Amino acid sequence: MELILYPVIALVIGIAIGAAIIMLATKMVGGFSPSFLSCVLAAIAATIAGGAVSYVLQMVLGAGGLSALLSLIIVFLVYAAIINFLVKRPDGGQMGFGKAALVTLVVIIIEIVLCVILFFVFGAALFAMLGTVH
């Protein structure tokens, strides 16, 4: 039971955090707060599409520096297109691809900052635990 339950809980928490980050970035860039459901759908769709595009590009181009850079650029554009398509303004219109690209850039920056903070917090805890082992 736990074999299925824990990954599902982690997935739900990850999607909720991703949707909250999209909401925050949209509020910062677009000046409006979209609905949580549209941000959840955008987070799910962007994750699936980004993974699929990255997998296909790695199969076609192979592993390497140039293919990883190309994959990063294409996944960024796909992510921006999904946010433009799924996250709507309060009047129901699209925010535009330029603003969606800025939202995507802010989302990536927020995720990098969160990863660095979590790395230092859990890294410090890990080293503290290793220091007690003799």
List average pLDDT for each run of 10 residues in the chain, which is 134 residues long. Answer: 86 93 93 91 92 88 80 91 91 89 94 92 80 68
95: burial class by Cβ within 10 Å (0-12, 13-18, 19+)? buried
CB 36 within 8 A of CB 19: yes
pLDDT tens, position by position, 19-50:
999 999 999 998 888 999 999 999 999 999 98
pLDDT of residue 133: 66
Phi and psi at 35, nearest 5°, equal -70, 150
pLDDT of residue 22: 94
pLDDT of residue 76: 94
Containing structural domain, residue 102: 2-131
pLDDT of residue 48: 93
Q: In the block, which residue shows the tokens 């949707």?
A: 19
Q: How many domains does the chain have?
A: 1
pLDDT of residue 126: 78
Residues 6 or more apart in contact with residue 75 via CB below 8 angstroms: 50, 53, 54
Q: In the block, which residue shows the tokens 């691809």?
A: 97
- 67, two tokens: 């293919």
